[in-house]
């Protein structure tokens, strides 16, 4: 059997580290490495030809292209693992901006604290959509978003959960949060932002967007909802 080119052995741990930083809540680094090695083995001869290119400029270009292809393959694997563990399909994936999480977190945290069923939150949000709307709130996408956020929230440290609960469920002001945390208001503001970013990291981070919907709340009901979705490949 043909051996992998030495460059591939160098690329695998580097690419695996990059992917693991984004999906560490959902997949082990060693599993990503194994997947990348398996991917490389199916292309070993092509890679050897590309990486033995005598013209240095072309060889470097080939190495960059292989690294990019490897990263895409690893991300596809990590996304599938995340989806499988979170209970949805990869074509329901979504990525979340701070404004999105700020509007959906009250429903998610209520489901944890008050025992509200997420399907009920889905119905509440969907009820606010115009008839005939093609919003993702109709169908399984919204429920996948709520489940995704809930799982990401539960993976947070208790201190981050508490901060987000105060801010987004109990509607504490920054001054009230500062009193609880015994810190300055500016520090409370920063810690709220940090907790939200950690939740985003658990959800796969922030990515370039393809389209979106806006969130408004009227009479305690979410009438539209914003979610940024990526191209899946």
Per-residue pLDDT of 180-194, as tens digits, reads 999 999 999 999 999
Note the pLDDT of residue 143. 76
Per-residue pLDDT of 46-73, as tens digits, reads 998 999 989 999 999 999 999 999 998 9
Tokens for 163, please give them. 């901060």
Q: Which SS3 state, helix, strand or coil, does residue 10 take?
A: helix
Domains of the chain: 6-86 (no CATH), 92-224 (1.20.140)
Q: Which of 106-110, 129-133, 151-155, 196-200 is predicted least confidently?
A: 129-133
Note the pLDDT of residue 24. 85
Residue 177, Cβ density class (10 Å: 0-12 exposed, 13-18 middle, ≥19 buried): buried
Note the pLDDT of residue 21. 87
Name the residue among 103, 107, 105, 133 with its Cα closest to residue 122: 107
Note the pLDDT of residue 112. 87
CA gap 57, 162 in Å, rounded: 53
Name the residue among 34, 42, 45 with its Cα closest to residue 12: 34
Higher pLDDT, 192 or 141: 192
> For a pLDDT cut of 70, what percent of the chain falls above it?
71
Note the pLDDT of residue 104. 86
Q: Categorize the per-residue pLDDT at 117 as very low, low, confident or very high, splitting at 50, 70 and 90.
A: low
Q: Categorize the per-residue pLDDT at 139 as very low, low, confident or very high, splitting at 50, 70 and 90.
A: very low
Name the residue among 79, 87, 95 with its Cα closest to residue 19: 79
Note the pLDDT of residue 187. 95
Tokens for 195, please give them. 């907790």
Q: Which of 59-68, 74-83, 87-96, 203-212 is predicted least confidently?
A: 203-212
Q: Which SS3 state, helix, strand or coil, does residue 17 take?
A: helix
């Amino acid at each position: 059997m043909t051996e992998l080119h030495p460059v591939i052995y160098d690329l695998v741990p580097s690419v695996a580290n990059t992917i693991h930083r984004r999906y560490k809540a959902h997949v082990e680094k060693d599993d990503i490495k194994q997947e990348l090695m398996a991917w490389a083995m199916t292309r070993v001869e092509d890679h050897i030809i590309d990486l033995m290119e005598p013209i240095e400029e072309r060889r470097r270009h080939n190495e960059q292209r292989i690294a990019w292809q490897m990263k895409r393959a690893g991300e596809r694997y990590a996304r599938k693992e995340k989806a499988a563990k979170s209970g949805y399909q990869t074509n329901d994936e979504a990525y979340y901006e701070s404004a999105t999480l700020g509007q959906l977190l009250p429903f998610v945290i209520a489901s944890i604290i008050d025992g509200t069923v997420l399907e009920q939150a889905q119905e509440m949000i969907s009820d606010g959509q115009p008839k005939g709307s093609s919003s993702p709130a109709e169908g399984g996408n919204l429920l996948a978003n709520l489940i995704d956020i809930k799982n990401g929230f539960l993976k947070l440290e208790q201190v981050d959960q508490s901060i987000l609960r105060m801010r987004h469920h109990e509607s504490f002001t920054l001054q009230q949060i500062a009193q609880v945390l015994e810190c300055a208001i500016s520090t409370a503001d920063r810690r709220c932002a940090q907790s939200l970013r950690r939740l985003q990291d658990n959800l796969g981070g922030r990515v370039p967007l393809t389209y979106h919907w806006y969130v408004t709340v009227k009479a305690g009901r979410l009438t539209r909802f914003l979610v940024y979705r990526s191209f899946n490949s």
